[in-house]
Structure 1
Amino acid sequence: MKIIIAVTAIGLGLGLTGCESTGLFNSRDQIVAAPASCAPQRFEIYFAEGQAQLTDAAKQAISMTAAQVQGCNIRSVQVLGLADAQGTADANLSLSERRARTTAEALVKAGLPIPAFSVAAVGDLGATTSEGLREPLRRRTEVVIDAVSR
């Protein structure tokens, strides 16, 4: 039994050393390409139920995207606020407006140009299916940045 374990360990060790660079790809940069920075960007910012404050993850996503498009020609920034079907339609519209405004303000603070912005909110419109089921993950804003090279 000890011999089988020792032989297996030696074989595994030799097999793993064979995984080291064999000439096809010598570095991570050869197989992982960074996305084009001056290209359209789309991402979503999620919120806690009934909230319009940005989470740490949302702030990080905004910061990273703003850094990525820095130096690009920003033709437009569209921010659309959404809400789930909890509460009244008026309350959900107000909440989705606050979410859109909070996201847009953070994008401006991160360096995106104010004139490029289009901010809208739809409240809970579309938050339920035709069968009356609630759509999951509606507590968010959708952000689309049209960025091109200068």
Structure 2
Amino acid sequence: MRFVSLIGAAALLALGACSTLTGGEENAPAPAFNAAACVEKDFVIYFDEGQAELTDEARRIIDLQARDIHGCTIDSVRIIGLSDQDEGNQESSRQLSVRRAEVLAEYLATRASWPRSRFELLATGARGAVTAEGLDVPVRNRARIIAASHAP
């Protein structure tokens, strides 16, 4: 009987491991609340060139950051959309930056349940893409998210 119990326990552990491996991190339950995690988060999300749609990798990063501060009170969320100058004229570059910030805000409000009233959206367009020396600054196909939170 003891041998059967050990086999049963091993089988349950194996099944548990399989479910976490096949479900992925996005399906994992929210971690226990950790007050020490309620700090300012500053992270970058990259987009495909000329696009404002979130990639699978972007969603994964956002979900991990949101899960890390799950249970914290969100004080403010600043989203700064950027784009490259060579994506067109200044206005189209600014519009792409705006769309990137809006897409992120919608995702965070919907998926992470962060309060939309705490969001501030900024869009730089291509401003800052070229240095004073005339050098093009690469990799501006991104947005920066700065989320401040505290323990309830």
Give the TM-score of the pair, scaled to structure 2.
Answer: 0.73
Partner of 1:38: 38
Inter-partner Cα distance in structure 2 for 1:37 and 1:106 = 21
Please state whether the residue corresponding to 2:145 is helix, strand or coil: strand
How far the C-alpha of 1:36 sits from its partner, in A, is 3.5
- Map 1:135-146 → 2, pairs under 5 A: 135-146=137-148
Matched residue of 1:62: which SS?
Answer: helix
Name the residue aligned to 2:79: 79
CA distance, structure 1, for counterparts of residue 95 and residue 44 of structure 2: 19
Partner amino acid for 2:68? Answer: Q
Quote the sequence identity (%).
40
* Corresponding residue to 1:112 among 101, 110, 114: 114
CA RMSD of aligned residues (A): 1.5
| Structure in which a larger fraction of residues adopt helix | 2
- Contact 1:66 1:111 (C-alpha < 8 Å) held by counterparts: no
TM-score (norm 1): 0.74
Q: Does 1:133 align with 2:132?
A: no
Alignment partner, residue 47 of structure 2: 47
CA displacement, residues 8-59 of structure 1 (integer Å, 9 cap, x when unaligned): xxxxxxxxxxxxxxxxxxxxxxxxxx99421110100101110001111110
Instruction: Tell me if the contact between 2:101 and 2:143 (Cα under 8 Å) persists in the aligned partners.
Output: yes
- Report runs of 4+ in structure 1 exceeding 2 Å deviation: none
State the shift of 1:65 in Å: 1.2
Return the alpha-carbon distance in structure 2 between the equivalents of residues 49 and 90 of structure 1. 16
Mark the structure with the bigger radius of gyration: 1
Q: Distance in 2 between matches of 1:58 and 1:100?
A: 13
Tell me which residue corresponds to 1:17: none
The count of residues paired between Structure 1 and Structure 2 equals 117
Gap runs ≥5 in structure 1: 1-33
Distance in structure 1 (CA, Å) of the matches to 2:44 and 2:35? 18
